[in-house]
């Protein structure tokens, strides 16, 4: 799965990757290498993160539907 990012999003991620490599690994990484990592992770792992997001959204919607169902049941009036 290829995920497209805007230039601004890509630049932001590149800066964050470069900062991580410098702060945590004490290594300099170029912008090209950082962008390559983004493309690699997007292609190889993007689907897993995307599917997790869908699962989380689905669970959230189900919870809201159950809440709405409960509220509707509370509104019911007894029948004569």
Q: pLDDT (tens digit, 9 = 90+) per residue, 60-73?
A: 999 999 999 999 99
Euclidean distance between CA atoms 13 and 22, whole angstroms: 14
Please report the beta strands in the chain, taking only residues with DSSP state E, as ranges in sequence order. none
Instruction: Return the structure tokens found at 77.
Output: 């009036």
29 within domain boundaries? yes
Number of folded domains that form the chain: 1
pLDDT single digits (tens) 9-67: 999 999 999 999 999 999 999 999 999 999 999 999 999 999 999 999 999 999 999 99
Residue 60 is part of which domain span?
7-75
Is residue 80 assigned to a domain?
no
Spatial distance between the Cα atoms of 23 and 38, rounded to a whole number of angstroms: 18
CB 17 within 8 A of CB 38: yes
Tell me if 25 sits within 8 A of 50, measured CB to CB: no
Domain-embedded: residue 47: yes
Residue 80's pLDDT band (boundaries 50, 70, 90)?
confident
In sign, the C-alpha dihedral spanning 30, 31, 36, 37 is positive
Domain assignment present for residue 20? The answer is yes
């Amino acid at each position: 799965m290829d995920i497209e990012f805007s230039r601004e999003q890509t630049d932001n991620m590149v800066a964050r990757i470069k900062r991580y490599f410098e702060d945590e690994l004490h290594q300099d990484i170029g912008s090209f290498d950082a962008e390559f990592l983004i493309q690699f992770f997007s292609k190889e792992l993007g689907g897993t993160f995307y599917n997790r997001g869908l699962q989380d959204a689905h669970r959230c919607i189900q919870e809201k539907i159950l809440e709405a169902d409960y509220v509707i049941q509370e509104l019911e009036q007894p029948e004569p």
